[in-house]
């Protein structure tokens, strides 16, 4: 087996590899060529640093997407997807991809590697724990249509990114948010929100909340109502909410459904 760069394989073959490796994944993440390219672009993943495993018969058998960036003076690398096609699993392919990525991350001066694994994916979780990754946070993915829960008139205003906790998952960082807005109640700024619009030919079909900071979590229902007044009753997803935070508690109280639980994993280099 050998390991090559993502950029050394043509887009069609990379996409076919991704789709075969994730065909039996617990959530649907099948990709088109455009969708996979957008994933790399949207989350700062590098075709130069991402890796492809090639069998002795010259068949693409495994993929690892990664990128690195400095946050709060820490150089962080993130694994934005790793998979092996079913016929080559349990043969050490994933371990070799991880080892190669870690070796190159050290050479680049990376301090930490982070990524997420679905909590119920026992095989993957045990693999990562077995090579030195430790759980950092437990994250929930929530989903429900936007509703008008209050009559309070909050206003969204364009904003720059602000400081964020070190435990913020990579893809939830403000730098990867399409829209960042201050949340204002009259003349007072009560929070900041970062999110993404899901677009189709008919317009905005849904939004994904990637980060929400509120001075008072009791204002969450007013934030949801303000989003409803902006977009109507479209689907709203809440990505990677730390289950130890008041936001997770309040989402549950408002009957917003928890769809998935992940572990954010960490390894210091």
Q: CA end-to-end span of the chain, whole Å?
A: 26
**CA-based Rg of the chain, rounded to a whole angstrom?**
20
Q: Of 50, 49, 54, 52, which is closest to residue 63 (Cα–Cα)? A: 52
Q: What is the pLDDT of residue 220?
A: 96
Provide the 3-class DSSP secondary structure of residue 201: coil
Give the per-residue pLDDT at 240. Answer: 97
- Going from the C-alpha of 109 to that of each of 49, 143, 208, 267, 268, the distances in angstroms are 14, 38, 32, 14, 11
Give the pLDDT score at 152: 80
pLDDT below 70 — which residues of the chain?
A: none
Give all domains of the chain, ordered by start, each with its CATH number: 2-110 (3.40.630.30), 142-263 (3.40.630)
Query: How confident is the model at residue 144, as a pLDDT?
Result: 96
Which are the contacts of 28, defined by CB distance < 8 A and separation ≥ 6? none
The pairing of strands 112-118 and 235-242 is: unpaired
Instruction: For residue 256, count CB atoms less than 10 angstroms from its CB and return exposed for 0-12, middle for 13-18, buried for 19 or more.
Output: buried
Angle between helices 11-21 and 33-42 (to 10 degrees): 90
| Tens digits of residue pLDDT in 120-151 | 999 899 999 999 999 999 999 999 999 998 88
Q: What is the pLDDT of residue 264?
A: 98
């Amino acid at each position: 087996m050998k390991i090559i760069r993502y950029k050394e394989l043509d887009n069609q073959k990379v996409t076919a590899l991704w789709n075969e490796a994730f065909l039996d994944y617990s959530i649907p993440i099948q990709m088109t060529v455009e969708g996979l390219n957008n994933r790399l672009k949207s989350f700062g993943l590098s075709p130069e640093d991402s890796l492809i495993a090639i069998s002795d018969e010259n068949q693409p058998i495994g993929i690892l997407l990664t990128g690195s960036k400095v946050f709060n003076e820490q150089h962080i690398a993130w694994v934005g997807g790793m998979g092996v096609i079913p016929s080559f699993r349990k043969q050490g392919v994933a371990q070799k991809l991880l080892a190669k990525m870690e070796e190159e991350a050290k050479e680049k001066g990376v301090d930490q590697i982070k990524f997420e694994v679905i909590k119920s994916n026992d095989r993957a979780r045990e693999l990562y724990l077995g090579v030195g990754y430790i759980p950092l946070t437990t994250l929930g993915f929530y989903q429900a249509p936007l509703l008008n829960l209050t009559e309070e008139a909050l206003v969204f205003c364009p904003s720059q990114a602000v400081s964020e906790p070190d435990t913020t998952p990579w893809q939830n960082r403000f730098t990867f948010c399409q829209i960042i807005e201050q949340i204002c109640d009259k003349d007072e700024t009560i929070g900041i929100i970062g999110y993404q619009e899901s677009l189709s030919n008919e317009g905005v079909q849904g939004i994904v909340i990637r980060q929400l900071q509120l001075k008072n979590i009791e204002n969450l229902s007013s934030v949801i109502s303000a989003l409803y007044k902006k977009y109507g009753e479209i689907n709203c997803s809440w990505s990677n909410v730390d289950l130890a935070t008041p936001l997770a508690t309040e989402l549950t109280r408002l009957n917003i459904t928890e769809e998935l639980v992940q572990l954010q994993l960490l390894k210091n280099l």
